[in-house]
Structure 1
Amino acid sequence: MSEKNKYGQYFTIDEIASFMVNLIGKDKGAKVLEPSCGEGVFLKYLQRYGFCSLSAYEIDKSLISEYDFIKYESFVSSPLDEKFDVVIGNPPYIRWKNLEQELKNELTANPLWNKYFNNLCDYLFLFILKSIEQLNDNGELIFICTEYWMSTTHSDTLRNYMCQHGYICEIYHFKEAPLFDKVTASFVIFKYIKSNSLKKTIDFYTYNKIGKPKEDELLSKKCFNKQIIPQFRQYERWLLATEEVQSRLKSFEEVCTRPSKSFFDKELYRIGDICDIGNGMVSGADKAFLVSNIDDLNEKERRHLIRVYKAKDIEPYSAKKESYYLFMQDKKINKELFRIEYPHFYTQLERHIDKLYSRYNYHRDIPFWEFVFLRNQKLFERQQDKIFVPCKERISKKKHFRFCFAPEGVYPLQDVTALVPKECCKESLYYLLAYL
């Protein structure tokens, strides 16, 4: 896969493209659209499988392809009136804040974007919705993308639109299998049918291997475990779980319900009601600030160490290891004084100087020996024990959660979230930890 560029491109591997084309249920004369074709891997397999009525868009004119029918222009601004039997591909996904200005301008001028979305939404959303708009009745949409939009608040208009205009019949959940180089995310392939009727269930396949899939395993579906899950419905959360599991989750949620001021609204007890919650401080270069040998430090340097639990060292209930990080906050010190009074720190940071100077500085002039963002520092310095949890935990890979006890004086960095009981909390920290 090529490096990500400004158009949010992550190019699809051959095995996945072949598998997705094989999911098409239409005959070989179907009109097929690839709205973001990249270098043409889907087009290659569409032709190989015998599909001959193909259309494609690609916004990046620098990509070279052998297919002369590709339109090197933006699918977002392409006409809506042309209809297709199948839309297939790997659409770009970029958050609004990361979009190039030219793409933002295009979206703000787009009627569909303005009707359904806003600047809290993802570029991906419009690709899905516009593709459905251009499907014929009973047409098929087959996309590979990250799964986050299936549950986030800002994508609810997209999900409701999809429920109003059809149904999902198949989902292939790859969790965090390395389908794309240098990308860590949970990916799904979904097949959607544009229809006025409704299928009551979804065939839900979960990837059961580690590493990239092989083409024969995908085509035979031997690398998947199959379950039947309830069809997604308008105004409801999309849960990738069986009816039994959903029922148990609903029961659990109901016992967490508290009296509401409104008859119609349901309010839940949340951990934020009894704990202050904060993500850890940001060094901008953890390897540079990690002190592996404290024996050689002078007394001044020792006074500027903090104890840290990193996400990789957190286990259920406790951490298997703590680390020491240099932590300077002396605003009176300059580079020369730092070199003289903190020689071991200076030598260590010098080895990472390029990385330190290239850190995102939050529009401030930050010395290379300081953290870039002291996020929630006062919360962490409260004189009480805390609970830590990895802030980007991928629970699809584990059968347990990793909430751990963190004694007073231990700090979290950016990969860890801290829970600190409020004064109103009557339960002990150990009770909360066991409950979580």
Structure 2
Amino acid sequence: MKKILIANRGEIALRIMKTCQKMGIETVAVYSDADEGLPFVKAADYAFRIGEAPVAKSYLLKDDILNIAVREKVDAIHPGYGFLSENTEFAQAAEAKGIKFIGPKSETLAIMGDKVAARKTMKEAGVPVVPGSSGLADMDEACAYASEIGYPVILKASGGGGGIGMQRCDDEEALKKSFASVKTRAKAYFGNDDVFIEKFISEARHIEIQLFGDEFGNVVHMFERDCSVQRRNQKVVEESPSPHLSEATREKMCAAAVAAAVHAGYINAGTIEFIVDEEENFYFLEMNTRLQVEHRVTEGITGLDLVEWQIRTSAGEKLPFLQPEITKEGHSIQFRLYAEDPVKFIPSPGLIKAFTFNEMDGVIVDCAYAEGDTVTPFYDPLVAKIIVTGENRPDALAKAETFLNGVKIEGIKTNLPLFLTILSNSQFKKGTYSTSFLQTAVLA
């Protein structure tokens, strides 16, 4: 490949560009009016305005992005994550124009993008699945099913992701109150108002397995990431290896994830997310058919470049390494720095008047913005990802605390204080936290 268009923005666009530059590949950026002048636009070899600030008028304009790709004669499109990264129609349209879509096949996107269809596929592959329904016709059917499996339950959007379109319901009254709003939210965000119910597992850990497949039938895993530090079902801190998972369970989960990917004929990067209960029973939650926000954590412990693997497998190459050659070393942890009020947890857009930090060995900062840039209210308020890798978990945590105390950011509020509170928490230090940790041990 000689030229790739990146159909995304911010830190992930920059992250992809770094690998492309390393591989000698030219990059094409698209940007909205709100993003003109941001670092990712300046870093690209070519950059083109795609539209107005709202995503519906810019980064979701499939035809406009494809027209630029054709005009610029790119070999492939990298969708990053979010936006069009799991959009079946976009992938099909690119393929129809002879442009590689850096990701799985469009038919795989279609199956795994629908949570109900994905659950069915996992069952066929012999992977344990959280007890749950298929699509629900109406509220009465939802209430009947919830009564059958017992409360609490989670009401979910079939086409959802990223914690959007999910609502815990502790009783029938709560389910009735939530049903219409979750369907409305699902329609607004994903263009699909289908919903389903899963049994809510308390004191659970959220563990995901990084996978890679190629066109020759090879599938490997790159171990697990623990994503249990969450607020409103959205990840805040991720780490690998998981600090509270036995080696036997880790091996079983990795083997189950690989078997599922083989069954699905999976190609390129993907992640299977599991929920793990207190007895270490694990159940399939969903499959993300794209690069994950937290992929740098896996890179930290393996020394591999996942974006390079994506590009090479999309170009028809075999996986650079097979399972016996993939090893892990050390401990890596990621903090998602958001422009948000650290107490009220509402977005805090504005001008970044200062953004400085001390360089440190083992620390990577993927920034979406630079000092003097403005965080607008049109997109996810992620300002930067801070990834810290140490010789072991205590070393990584100590290094993280030192680094985070040296970050200076002015002009906007951020969740930086939350990270320092988490790091000082005894439960987190022991690694015995669950998905309820933030709500019960930190924010209570």
What is the TM-score when the length of structure 1 is the normalising length?
Answer: 0.26
Q: Which has the higher contact order (CA 8 A, sep 6+)?
A: 2
What is the TM-score when the length of structure 2 is the normalising length?
Answer: 0.26
Which structure has greater helix proportion? 2
Which structure has greater strand proportion? 2
